[in-house]
Amino acid sequence: MVLICIRRELKHDSRGVMVSKISSMLNVTSPTVTQLIKGLEANGLVERSIDKEDRRVVRITLTDAGKKVTEQAFKEFSDSFNGLVEYLGEEQSKQLADLLDQVFQYFDERKKRLEQSQSKGDEA
């Protein structure tokens, strides 16, 4: 998931992704992401570099090996998804998509309610 997040964000900012952005995307703490990045770096999948404009900022990019891993993951996901659509057929695939959309909306609304109640608790 970390590699996928980095790949997605690199489309918007080719300089690299900050750990705080990855942390936000995955909804985990920055120290957790930092540990994951260390492992990915040790395996040659990501590189860390200092931002040229702000030397306090560390940017994460994919290596060629990291790019290959994410490309393979996307291919496998696409193949699996296409196989599922073939298995279910068009009508049931549309029903599944509608249900998953409703699930996403539910969890998105739930998250917003929780955030609102937490911010009200912080104000007290």
Instruction: List pLDDT tens digits, range 47-80.
Output: 999 988 888 889 999 999 999 999 999 999 999 9
Contacts of 25 (CB under 8 A, 6+ apart): 5, 8, 9
| Percent of the chain residues topping a pLDDT of 90 | 73
CA–CA separation, 46 and 61 (whole Å): 6
Q: Residue 76 is which amino acid?
A: E
**Residue range 2-62, CATH number:** 1.10.10.10
Where in the chain are the domains?
2-62
CA–CA separation, 64 and 57 (whole Å): 22
Q: Is the pLDDT of residue 98 over 60?
A: yes
Q: Which two tokens stand for residue 70?
A: 């994410």
CB 70 within 8 A of CB 7: yes
Alpha carbon distances (Å) from 67 to 2, 16, 98: 12, 13, 32
CA–CA separation, 55 and 52 (whole Å): 6
123: confidence class by pLDDT, cuts 50, 70, 90: low
CA gyration radius for the chain?
19
The pTM is what?
0.72
